[in-house]
């Protein structure tokens, strides 16, 4: 299975989601991430995301930000978005029902109904990054089970 994690800048939340899910699943599955803005393209993840992940034994330091493009609808089976804005931005680029059906909010996918969002920690504190990590760790655990990715 090929999974894409999406946030705004692809430097804080979705790199964490990518690294966390990859750490839980077998190598036959692919995980990547992308952002809905191109501003940080080519950059490594935010230092605070790298350090938070490292504290949990997950290395995301070699990832590089990429911009979400329409071709990703065909390259990936599932596209998990961090918040409502990311979700709407990705959906607005979909050109078929098949493409739309690949897109969901990651916390809803993981059973947290009620439009739950992974909050943007960019202007926040290290505790905000840790909270994001915990949310994503729990969601990725459920996703790994649900889609039998181990
Ligand atoms: P992310 O966080 O979407 O979790 O990667 C952000 C990164 C950059 C910006 C905003 C959020 N920015 O405004 O540059």
CATH number of domain containing 86: 3.40.50.2300
pLDDT of 86 above 60:
yes
Q: For residue 83, give the 3-state DSSP assignment.
A: coil
In the chain, the number of structural domains is 1
- Name the pTM for this structure: 0.97
Q: 133, 124, 131, 141: which is closest to 16 by C-alpha?
A: 133
Say whether pLDDT at 97 is over 70: yes
In the predicted structure, residue 115 carries a pLDDT above the cut 90: no
Distance from the CA of 6 to the center of ligand 1, in angstroms? Answer: 11
Q: What is the mean pLDDT of residues 33-47?
A: 98
Mean pLDDT calculated for residue range 80-97: 98
Average pLDDT over residues 1-30: 98
Percent pLDDT > 70 in the chain is 98
Assess whether the C-beta atom of 8 lies below 6 angstroms from ligand 1: yes
Q: Is the pLDDT of residue 114 over 60?
A: no
Q: Which domain holds residue 34?
A: 2-146
Whether ligand 1 lies within 6 angstroms of the CB of 11 is answered as: yes
- CB burial of residue 99 (10 Å; 0-12, 13-18, 19+): middle
């Amino acid at each position: 299975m090929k999974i894409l994690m999406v946030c705004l800048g692809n430097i804080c939340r979705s790199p964490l989601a990518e690294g966390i899910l990859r750490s839980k699943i077998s190598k036959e599955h692919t995980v990547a991430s992308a952002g809905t803005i191109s501003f940080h393209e080519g950059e490594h993840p935010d230092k605070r995301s790298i350090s938070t992940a490292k504290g949990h034994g997950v290395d995301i330091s070699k990832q590089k930000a990429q911009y979400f493009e329409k071709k990703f609808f065909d390259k990936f089976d599932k596209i998990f978005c961090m918040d409502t804005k990311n979700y709407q931005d990705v959906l607005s680029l979909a050109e078929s029902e098949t493409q739309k059906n690949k897109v969901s909010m990651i916390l809803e996918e993981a059973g947290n109904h009620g439009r739950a969002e992974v909050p943007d920690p960019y202007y926040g504190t290290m505790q905000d990054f840790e909270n994001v990590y915990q949310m994503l760790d729990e969601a990725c655990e459920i996703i790994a089970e649900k889609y039998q990715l181990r």
